[in-house]
Amino acid sequence: MSPTVSVLVRNRDFRNLFLAELVVFGADWFVMVPLLVLLPALTGSGVWGALVLAVDTGMTALLLPYTGTIADRFDRRKIMMAANLAALAGILLLLGVRNAGTAWLALVSIAAVAVAKAFYSPAAQAALPNVLDPADLAAGNAIAGSAWGTMTVVGASLGGMLSAAAGPYASFWVAAAGLAGAAGLAARIRRPLQAPRDPAAVVPRTWPAIREALGYIAHRPRVLALVTVKSAVGLGNGVLTVFPLLAGLYGVGAIGTGLLFASRGAGALVGPILMRRVLSNRAWLLTGLALSMSLYGLAYVGVSVVSWFPLVLVLVFLAHLGGGSNWVLSNYALQGEVPDRLRGRVFATDMMLATLAISVSQLVVALVVDAVDERVVLAGCGLVTVVYAAGWRLATRRLSLTDPVEEQETCRTP
């Protein structure tokens, strides 16, 4: 049995955490794909879909500095369970989106779900090393890194097919039921999801805690490099707004939209698995990060110039193979650099920068999507990522992740 599969079989708590994340990610796509098809049909415009994506990422980004401090101060298991139930309530609001006049409810619903995800994500990511033995950390990261991709394949493809067959509202109900199940899986985790804290230690308040984490990042060039790497793919993420329009251009409708998102997820699934060998050699991580960013951008430039839909699906797969690799490589490297007591805040900062980049990309696309050809949007997003990747690698060329982790005292705010 391979080490990657073995850790999933042997470790019940990791298995429950992984399955809970599978369900959460799957529910996200059972909502998003049908909604991105529904809104243009109700309103006659691609702007609403872009706004939904921007609200989803923007709201999360705004809250992450705060929710990261919560993940470092309170029981991460309870945070995950409460977030799942809150997201369930938000999804039920989508049942009221029935015409152009009620399209605004989609923004309210997705904003509520985004708030829940802002609490869930730092807690889940910071908890991962606590349910794994040190020897299993690389294999566990490879599996956990595939969760999003796995359920993007399943959620996007099944969500698209279910929406085409039974309507979007059936997909919304499935997503709500899934989130209830995810809360139950989180409740079954028995290992503590954070390291023991010194009872005499003073827990900093929210803003001092945020400043402490930012000071930690700013004074460690390797950590700073790692929390800025996901922004490359984020700045090219406006391509997602074009997926329903691209499917319409090829005449493949909701099923084609689902296939595009499924190809995206398949790439994000395969990328972390292929990176298993790179994870075991820290000397390769920075180069791997630069190459993964570049692959994402170049593949979307390719999508902008081809004219055969199956080849589009292949290029989307390759783009997100790079994007998924980028995500798991940076997460794994950060886990080795950051102590547990700061991990929630540093991961929250990492996700905040990535989601802010995504929001900027999607808002820019929202401004031009009804006036600029889809292929121009795709090429522009891909080129932005390629340019960012080149600049990031130049800026980090003298860094090495094989040197010992710095142990200097964290900068504290009095």
CB of 57 closer than 8 Å to CB of 359: yes
**DSSP three-state, residue 57:** helix
Percent of the chain topping pLDDT 70:
91
* Residue 408 domain flag: no
* Residue 72 domain flag: yes
* Residue 386 domain flag: yes
Query: What is the CATH number for 232?
Result: 1.20.1250.20
DSSP 129: G
CB of 149 closer than 8 Å to CB of 266: yes
Q: What is the pLDDT of residue 225?
A: 92
Segment 333-350, tens digit of pLDDT: 888 888 887 887 888 788
C-alpha 44/C-alpha 302 separation (Å) is 28
Give the domain extent around 391.
3-193+204-395
CB of 199 closer than 8 Å to CB of 33: no
* Residue 402 domain flag: no
Mean pLDDT rounded to a whole number for the chain: 84
Q: What is the pLDDT of residue 410?
A: 41
Q: What is the CA radius of gyration of the chain?
A: 20
- Token output for 347: 């991961």
Domains: count for the chain: 1
* Residue 410 domain flag: no
With 90 as the cut, is the pLDDT of residue 111 above it?
A: yes
The size of the chain, in residues, is 414
Q: What is the pLDDT of residue 412?
A: 39
* Residue 401 domain flag: no
Hey, CA dihedral for 339, 341, 344, 346, is it positive or negative?
A: negative
CB of 140 closer than 8 Å to CB of 14: yes
Q: What is the pLDDT of residue 197?
A: 65
Q: At 207, give phi and psi (nearest 5°).
A: -70, -40
CB of 355 closer than 8 Å to CB of 56: no
3-state secondary structure string across 301-320: HHHHHCCCHHHHHHHHHHHH
* Residue 411 domain flag: no
Alpha helices in 167-230 (DSSP H): 168-187, 206-218, 221-228
Segment 7-24, tens digit of pLDDT: 888 899 999 998 998 888
**350 vs 409 pLDDT, higher one:** 350
C-alpha 358/C-alpha 55 separation (Å) is 10
Hey, CA dihedral for 389, 392, 398, 403, is it positive or negative?
A: negative
Query: Judging by beta carbons within 10 Å of its beta carbon (0-12, 13-18, 19+), is residue 252 exposed, middle or buried?
Result: middle
Task: Of 144-148, 159-163, 281-285, give the lowest mean pLDDT range.
Answer: 144-148
C-alpha 161/C-alpha 167 separation (Å) is 9
* Residue 407 domain flag: no
Query: Judging by beta carbons within 10 Å of its beta carbon (0-12, 13-18, 19+), is residue 221 exposed, middle or buried?
Result: middle
Rounded mean pLDDT of 74-83?
92
With 90 as the cut, is the pLDDT of residue 65 above it?
A: no
3-state secondary structure string across 338-382: CCHHHHHHHHHHHHHHHHHHHHHHHHHHHHHCCCCCHHHHHHHHH
C-alpha 224/C-alpha 65 separation (Å) is 16
CB of 30 closer than 8 Å to CB of 262: no
